[in-house]
Amino acid sequence: MKRQLYEELLKWKNSSKRKPLLLQGARQVGKTYLVNEFGNKEYSNYIYLNFEERPDLQSLFEENLSPPNIIENIGLLLGHKIESANTLIFFDEIQLLPQALSSLKYFYEKNPEFHIIAAGSLLGVSINKQSSFPVGKINFMKMHPLSFEEYLLAGDNSLLAEKIKENKNLRPFPETIHKKLMSELKMYLFLGGMPEVLQDYFSNKDIASARNIQNELLNAYRSDFSKYTEKGQAIKTPELWRSIPAQLARENKKFKYGDVKKNARAATFEQTIEWLKGAGLINPAYNISVPKIPVSAYADYSKFKVYLFDTGLLGAMLEISSELIIDTTAIFSEFNGAFMENYVAMELTASGMEDLFYWTSKSDAEVDFIVQADNNIFPLEVESGKSKKLSSLRSYEKKYSPENIYRSSPRNFYQDGTFANIPLYSIFSFYNYLK
């Protein structure tokens, strides 16, 4: 399946400012598959070292972290001399070997001619524990589940994806095209963007099999909670994780610690939130009351919503039936539109938004997402049905006079003055429309 990050890897390879690359992302989002494909296609020599499969590889980094010494040891292990020309070395599951992570600094400083990529599950969590992390010496990329655009590309709908991106004038699509895209979106909401799930579905067209894989992935994540968290967090993490679907299903989706455990306070679960965020498993959205640039400086980080990193896994946790895929509107309105907001959060994150924000006013108006693009701030409301109500957006517009206000809903493209409706299936191109 084509991943858009492949193009970013090509830019990295050809950059004059290239540093060792750290590829981050949740478990099973396709990091290893992507780098293997990239290494085999774009380099004459590709060396793959997995520190989980080969614990003995630790000895290669024990004597010292000099790159020539490490390269020589790898060559001795593989039985041939390693030249830097057109060679990619991939350190996989690097979170298991802190010395290998530290060595990236020296590859950058002393032997930048070597192309090095490192990746690992839960790497964001592991990084926080490193005292010798190579700050300023590496490039970063983050990998997410497949976006809806990547889903369309994987399902041989590349023309539809291209048409969405080209529609910068926000002209309505012919109704038959709009309906086809909404049908594809409903399927995507159920399947989500985990590569193994989508690969199985595209091969077998078996919804039950896809759901089984989703449940297996959820079991794997629950296993990770006890495997990677400290003793004090081993109980808290599953408790908080289990509460997320119910929190999203409420009318008011603001995260409440008391819904995780009775009488619980922030101090009990703050570290757990950070752990799940670092692991790439959740996308928090933080509250702002005044939209100014930079948005992050005006956020209240004590008030937030928590979105799951994949709608398919959210559906599996909620035990959403596949029958909803057939229903025209049910999957959009189910659980107070939990899928829709979660989906939009996924798409914005995959588009490059590192942190998500939402706006509330003292009069109870609320806009689901506040998007900063260059020196402008835009409000984006998510509507799960076909309601034309714009009360919160108009309230925001009256207070702050933004250049444009946006709603994303199951409706077709529509524009009237400063207001524009963006179909849910086109959110992956939202930044493109702003530009």
Each residue's pLDDT, cut to its tens digit, for the chain (435 residues) gives 889 999 999 999 999 999 999 999 999 999 999 999 999 999 999 999 999 999 999 999 988 899 999 999 999 999 999 999 999 999 999 989 999 999 999 999 999 999 999 998 877 777 766 556 787 899 999 999 999 999 999 999 999 999 999 999 999 999 999 999 999 999 999 999 999 999 999 999 999 999 999 999 999 999 988 877 777 788 899 999 999 999 998 888 899 999 999 888 898 899 999 999 999 999 999 999 899 999 999 999 999 999 999 999 999 998 888 887 666 566 666 666 788 999 999 999 999 998 999 999 987 789 999 999 988 999 999 998 766 678 999 999 999 999 999 999 999 999 999 999 999 999 999 999 996
**The token pair that represents 290 in the structure block:** 């005044």
The residue behind tokens 């020309």 is 85
Nearest to 341 by CA among 243, 241, 409, 426: 409
Report the pLDDT value the prediction gives residue 332, as an integer from 0 to 100: 66
Which residues touch 174 (CB under 8 Å, ≥6 apart)?
Answer: none
C-alpha dihedral over 62, 65, 69, 70, to 10 degrees? 80
Q: What distance in Å separates the CA atoms of residue 175 and residue 87, rounded to the nearest whole number? A: 50
Q: What distance in Å separates the CA atoms of residue 290 and residue 274, rounded to the nearest whole number? A: 25
Report the pLDDT value the prediction gives residue 363, as an integer from 0 to 100: 76
| Contact (Cβ atoms closer than 8 angstroms) between residue 46 and residue 88 | yes
DSSP bridge pairs for 119: 23, 92
What the chain holds in terms of domains, given with CATH numbers, is: 5-143 (3.40.50.300), 191-196+212-434 (no CATH)
Nearest to 314 by CA among 242, 233, 212: 242
Report the pLDDT value the prediction gives residue 339, as an integer from 0 to 100: 83
| Contact (Cβ atoms closer than 8 angstroms) between residue 348 and residue 427 | yes
Report the pLDDT value the prediction gives residue 129, as an integer from 0 to 100: 64
**The token pair that represents 404 in the structure block:** 């444009």
Report the pLDDT value the prediction gives residue 338, as an integer from 0 to 100: 80
Q: What distance in Å separates the CA atoms of residue 105 and residue 304, rounded to the nearest whole number? A: 36
List, in sequence order, the alpha helices (H) in 156-261: 158-166, 175-191, 195-204, 207-228, 236-249
Report the pLDDT value the prediction gives residue 385, as an integer from 0 to 100: 75
C-alpha dihedral over 344, 322, 180, 348, to 10 degrees? 10
Report the pLDDT value the prediction gives residue 384, as an integer from 0 to 100: 82
